[in-house]
């Protein structure tokens, strides 16, 4: 068989954060999360099944990968086959943004890989099945199968079927996410390691478990009402609680840098001046600012002039997976 699959997936930003697992083996989130898929952060992946290969090959951004990166892809292709024997594949992927720096490249990466590999191996899968599969690679990837506003419920230990579910299409709400990048370097602590350390050692882990579902509910209800202030406030509370729980791990899991705080000062200043702008951070130092479409240019300008900001992109709600 020489099957081929190609898929384009957008990354997503959690408005209410996922952090920590209730089942590590099945990669099930301990808390519910709500995201918006972003049109500006795109991964393109091609999978070609090649019976002549003795091992899988993985090229990312034009660079042949080895070791752990190839192993992750191979394990994912094994999962797709439920452990049954399979032919090897050539996987070629390209992120149109910096990889592994807290810009959710694993979300778009595993979403695109799930769709492209199912197609290449001729396996018919529903979007929900692809979402559950992508979740095994990276829980946030489950959300990137869908466009617009998406929820990933908390998992139940032992139940591997958990998938994200779409809440509203991309055209539901004309918001913008202004992405202020403060470095192009890869992050220091992989999310998976950061989550494990938080779960095992943070005195604030239980507090995070207690508060996260409420933030997810407030965000979900706020998105349904298109209430930017409610969503923005709950989004900031969710990110601060997530980072606080991680920071209190031993040793600390700290993604926030000085430049992150400078950018946050800028967001607070925008609000004081009357512009609706709210910030969120993921497993990296970058700051993403939620605002109305009409305010995006002003917010982008303010972030561009913040000390340490090296690049600014403006994203809007984007589409779900596209396969060819």
- Residues near ligand 2P0 (CB under 6 A): 14, 17-19, 27, 33, 106, 138-140, 191-192, 195, 282-283
We find the least distance from the C-beta atom of residue 122 to ligand 2P0, in angstroms, to be 27
Q: Is the distance from CB of 8 to CB of 44 less than 8 angstroms? A: yes
Identify which of 212, 288, 262, 189 has the alpha carbon closest to the alpha carbon of residue 34: 212
CB nearer ligand 2P0, residue 195 or residue 306: 195
Looking up tokens 């090959």 gives: 57
Minimum Å gap between C-beta 193 and ligand 2P0 is: 9
**Cβ at position 293, least distance to ligand 2P0 in Å:** 23
Cβ distance to ligand 2P0 smaller for residue 284 or 302: 284
Name the token pair of 195: 């989550």
Closest distance of CB 131 from ligand 2P0, Å: 13
Region for residue 197 given its phi and psi (left: phi exceeds 0; alpha: psi -120 to 50; beta: otherwise): alpha
Cα separation, 43 vs 140, whole angstroms = 14
Residue 10, preceding bond cis, omega within 30 degrees? no
Neighbours of 51 (CB within 10 A): 9
Q: 80-87 long-range CB contacts below 8 Å, 24 or more apart?
A: 80/114, 80/117, 80/118, 80/121, 80/123, 80/133, 81/121, 86/121, 87/1, 87/49, 87/50, 87/51, 87/53
Q: How many whole angstroms separate alpha carbon 114 and alpha carbon 49?
A: 14
Q: How many Cα atoms are found within 13 Å in the side-chain-facing hemisphere of 250?
A: 5
Length of the chain equals 324
The nearest distance, CB 316 to ligand 2P0, in angstroms, is 18
Nearer Cβ to ligand 2P0 (92/239)? 239
The residue among 19 and 204 lying less far from ligand 2P0, judged by its C-beta, is 19
49 vs 182 by CB, closer to ligand 2P0: 182
Nearer to ligand 2P0, 131 or 138 (CB): 138
Residue 171 burial (C-beta neighbours within 10 Å; 0-12, 13-18, 19+): exposed
Shortest CB 294 distance to ligand 2P0, Å: 27
What's the closest the beta carbon of residue 243 comes to ligand 2P0, in angstroms? 9
- In the complex, the smallest distance separating the C-beta of residue 62 from ligand 2P0, rounded to whole angstroms, is 23
Residue 162 vs 309, nearer CB to ligand 2P0: 162
Name the minimum Å distance from CB 187 to ligand 2P0: 10
| Nearest Cα residue to 61 out of 95, 90, 110, 89 | 95
Contact 91, 113 (CB under 8 A): yes
| Nearer of residues 192 and 217 to ligand 2P0, judged by Cβ | 192
Show the beta-strand stretches assigned E in 182-296: 277-280, 287-292
> Whose Cβ is closer to ligand 2P0: residue 139's or residue 302's?
139
- Look-up: residue for tokens 């290969």? 53
């Amino acid at each position: 068989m020489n099957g081929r699959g190609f898929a384009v997936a957008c990354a997503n930003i959690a408005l209410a954060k996922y952090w920590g697992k209730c089942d590590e083996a099945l990669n099930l989130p301990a808390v519910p999360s709500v995201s918006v898929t972003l049109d500006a952060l795109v991964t393109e992946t091609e999978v070609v099944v090649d019976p002549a290969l003795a091992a899988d090959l993985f090229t990312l951004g034009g660079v042949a990968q080895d070791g752990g990166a190839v192993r992750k892809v191979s394990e994912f292709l094994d999962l797709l086959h439920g452990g049954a024997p399979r032919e090897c594949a050539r996987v070629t992927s390209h992120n149109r943004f910096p990889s592994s720096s807290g810009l959710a490249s694993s979300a778009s990466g595993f979403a695109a890989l799930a769709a492209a590999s199912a197609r290449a191996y001729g396996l018919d899968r529903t979007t929900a099945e692809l979402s559950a599969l992508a979740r095994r690679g990276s829980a946030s990837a489950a959300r990137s199968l869908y466009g617009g506003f998406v929820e990933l419920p908390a998992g139940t230990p032992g139940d591997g079927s958990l998938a994200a579910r779409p809440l509203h299409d991309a055209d539901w709400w004309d918001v913008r996410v202004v992405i202020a990048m403060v470095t192009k370097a890869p992050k220091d602590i992989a999310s998976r390691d950061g989550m494990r350390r938080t779960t095992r050692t943070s005195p604030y882990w239980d507090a995070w478990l207690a508060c996260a579902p409420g933030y997810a509910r407030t965000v979900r209800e706020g998105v349904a009402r298109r209430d930017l202030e409610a969503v923005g406030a709950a989004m900031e509370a969710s990110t601060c609680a997530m980072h606080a729980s991680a920071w209190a791990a031993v040793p600390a899991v700290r993604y926030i840098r000085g430049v992150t705080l400078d950018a946050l000062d800028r967001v607070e200043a925008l609000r004081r001046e009357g512009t609706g702008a709210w910030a969120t951070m993921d497993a990296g130092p970058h700051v993403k600012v939620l605002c109305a479409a009409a305010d995006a240019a002003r917010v982008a300008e303010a972030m561009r002039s913040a000390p340490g900001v090296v690049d600014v992109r403006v994203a809007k709600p984007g589409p779900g997976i596209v396969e060819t």
